[in-house]
Amino acid sequence: MIDLYTWSTPNGRRAPIMLEECGLAYTPHYLELAKHEHKTEEMKKINWDQRIPVIVDPDGPDGKPIAVSESCAILLYLAEKTGKLLPTSGAARVEAQKWLFFAATNVGPAATQHFWLPTKSKLKGGLPPVEPFVDLFNDELKRLYGAMDGRLGEVEYLAGDYSIADIAAYVWVWRRFQQKIDLAAYPNLNRWFMAVNARPAVQKGEQIPPRNDGL
Ligand SMILES: N[C@@H](CCC(=O)N[C@@H](CS)C(=O)NCC(=O)O)C(=O)O
């Protein structure tokens, strides 16, 4: 049985959504970030970065246990393990990897900074003033959503067929209200968002842990 260490954040939800999509049995362990439950020596043993999500698979490569951190590495690991949601070769695989990295290196970081800068500044007594930078990250998110909207005007899902790239991007688009982005301005992205959201595995994975952020 796979152990999943996670919390209710976009990166944290990538792992349970994929576990559900793959139909793999897993035991969730919730680490409340505000209580620093992820900053333990036990966590350091499975992830030097001491961040969530992490999975520990007792049946890893060569039948040996393995700990996997980095949410998109978890998506890739589970896709390779099960043969699901990542084409095995050809242009379709390249496309899925391209959009996976688009979500991992563009959407995720821009959304993270947009979300975290005000909190970090508040912790430091409002210094430095971050509002102009928050606006810049909001502009960048809109640019990225525009790119996805264009792509999704050509194909149903980011890589053509539904893939791990969609899971990687979806969890951050879900934060649309906090990002003050109206998906009505991105009709193809909105259609895609509703389609991903309607998947039973996504519905189940999104409740690991149960939502309490009201977004
Ligand atoms: N690139 C990493 C980022 C992981 C990450 O930032 N996790 C956050 C929650 S989304 C976390 O553990 N934050 C707690 C901390 O930084 O102490 C991934 O995609 O897994």
Which residue's alpha carbon is at the smallest distance from atom 14 of ligand 1? 51
Q: Is residue 51 in contact with ligand 1, taking CB distance under 6 Å?
A: yes
Q: Dihedrals φ, ψ of 161, to 5°? A: -85, 160
User: For the chain, what percent of residues have pLDDT higher than 90?
Assistant: 92
Answer whether residue 143 shows pLDDT above 80: yes
Q: Is residue 55 in contact with ligand 1, taking CB distance under 6 Å?
A: no
Provide the residue range defining the domain that includes 67.
Answer: 2-85
H or E stretch covering 26: strand 26-30
The domain boundary, picked from 85, 107, 129, lies at 85
Tens-digit pLDDT profile for residues 160-183: 999 999 999 999 999 999 999 999
Q: Residue 171 is part of a domain; what is its CATH number?
A: 1.20.1050.10
- The answer to whether the pTM exceeds 0.85 is yes
User: For the chain, what percent of residues have pLDDT higher than 70?
Assistant: 99
Domain for residue 212, yes or no?
Answer: no
168 to 34, 60, 127, 145: CA distances (angstroms): 24, 22, 32, 14
**Distance linking the first and last C-alpha atoms of the chain:** 31
Domain for residue 213, yes or no?
Answer: no
Same domain, 56 and 102: no
Total structural domains in the chain?
2
Same domain, 13 and 58: yes
Answer whether residue 100 shows pLDDT above 90: yes
Q: How far is the CA of 93 from the centre of ligand 1 (A)?
A: 26
Answer whether residue 134 shows pLDDT above 70: yes
Higher pLDDT, 36 or 120: 36
Higher pLDDT, 22 or 124: 22
Residue-level pLDDT at 127? 80
Tens-digit pLDDT profile for residues 31-55: 999 999 999 999 999 999 999 999 9
Give the residue among 9, 25, 31, 29 at the shortest CA–CA distance from 78: 25
Q: Is residue 12 in contact with ligand 1, taking CB distance under 6 Å?
A: yes
Give the residue among 95, 61, 99, 65 at the shortest CA–CA distance from 81: 61
Same domain, 95 and 80: no
